[in-house]
């Protein structure tokens, strides 16, 4: 199965269609008059379709078990054709298009089974996905050319700046930025000291950096001063970014509740202070990128 552990939950919707074609008008009349010997075709097929949606991962090996939170089945009769529309919704990490198509196909098969005693010429036609929403493709920022974004990554660590350890967190952040199409214009390693942090933040803000990301110095030790150093220089904090990072981490390990990540804006620069551990930095970036880049559309007055 595809690894979806790095994805975030979003509302996902899929609508699928299947077509059942009968061979005579009397079959349609029997359905409408509820005189089919095996019972009410629409209601029994609806029940079968609901089971089909829920049983999708039991039959298709690469489909993830998904919390199905809403289904809708509707029928439209056009001449000798019965159009089946199946809508499925979930709030989860992966989409429900296969579940919707599987459910629609089961509805069609159940109709075939119920109608075959009175009509030997039934056909099941196209089974297709009509539409889907949710996931990263629906949250691409229309107002932003990511190639224009410039980023500075600053590692705040006494031991790394002294050459006693190798930086991995900063490099993980850079890898995620590059994958998101952001240009890396600066990469620095400095001591976790207030004066050094202030100097770098002010310098890169004056240079017009869109993203200024610090990693390290967010622990609870008295030596960890990055959040306290950054917060007074921000024009406005963005608590939602901090909350998203913390919630994402908390779902993966219990110590994330101790995180002291900081997010805010200084002018038109987005400033982030992320954990200094490699996993902490990587998960923080996974939690908010690339969606956080929408902030630049808002700053320019194009997004909402």
The radius of gyration of the chain from alpha carbons, rounded to an integer in Å, stands at: 27
Distance between CA atoms of 151 and 177, rounded to whole angstroms? 8
Take residue 143 and report the two structure tokens written for it: 């107002």
Distance between CA atoms of 250 and 257, rounded to whole angstroms? 6
Looking at the chain, list the stretches that DSSP marks H as alpha helix, in order from N- to C-terminal side. 25-32, 41-54, 56-59, 97-115, 158-161, 169-179, 194-206, 226-230, 239-250, 278-288, 294-299
Closest residue by Cα to residue 190 from 162, 232, 152: 162
Torsion sign across C-alpha atoms 182, 184, 186, 191: positive
In sequence order, the β-bridge partners of residue 188 are 154
Distance between CA atoms of 91 and 270, rounded to whole angstroms? 29
Active site residues: 113
Q: How many CB atoms lie within 10 A of CB 132?
A: 18
* DSSP-derived 3-state class of residue 229: helix
Furthest C-alpha separation in the chain: 86
Q: How far is CA 296 from the centre of its chain?
A: 19
């Amino acid at each position: 199965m595809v690894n979806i552990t790095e994805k975030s939950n979003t509302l996902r919707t899929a609508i699928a269609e299947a077509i059942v074609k009968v061979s005579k008008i009397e079959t349609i009349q029997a359905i409408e008059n509820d005189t089919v010997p095996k019972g009410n075709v629409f209601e029994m097929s609806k029940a079968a379709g609901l089971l089909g949606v829920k049983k999708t991962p039991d039959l298709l090996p690469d489909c993830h078990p998904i919390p199905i939170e809403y289904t809708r089945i509707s029928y439209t009769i056009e001449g000798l054709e019965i159009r089946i529309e199946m809508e499925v919704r979930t709030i989860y990490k992966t989409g429900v298009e296969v579940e919707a198509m599987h459910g629609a196909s089961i509805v069609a098969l159940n109709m075939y089974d119920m109608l075959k005693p009175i009509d030997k010429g039934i056909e099941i036609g196209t089974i297709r996905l009509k539409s889907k929403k949710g996931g990263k493709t629906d949250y691409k920022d229309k107002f932003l050319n990511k190639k224009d974004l410039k980023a500075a990554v600053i590692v705040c660590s006494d031991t790394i700046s002294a050459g006693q350890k190798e930086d991995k967190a900063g490099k993980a952040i850079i890898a995620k930025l590059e994958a998101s199409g952001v240009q890396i214009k600066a990469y620095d390693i400095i001591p976790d000291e207030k004066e050094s942090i202030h100097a770098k933040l002010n310098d890169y803000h004056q240079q017009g950096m869109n993203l200024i990301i610090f990693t390290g110095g967010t622990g609870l030790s008295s030596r960890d001063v990055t959040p306290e150093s950054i917060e007074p220089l921000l024009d406005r904090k963005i608590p939602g970014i901090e909350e998203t990072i913390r919630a994402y981490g908390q779902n993966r390990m219990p110590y994330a509740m101790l995180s002291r990540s900081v997010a805010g804006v200084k002018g038109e620069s987005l400033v982030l202070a992320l954990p200094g551990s490699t996993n902490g930095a990587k998960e923080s970036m996974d939690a908010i990128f690339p969606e956080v880049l929408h902030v630049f559309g808002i700053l320019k007055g194009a997004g909402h």
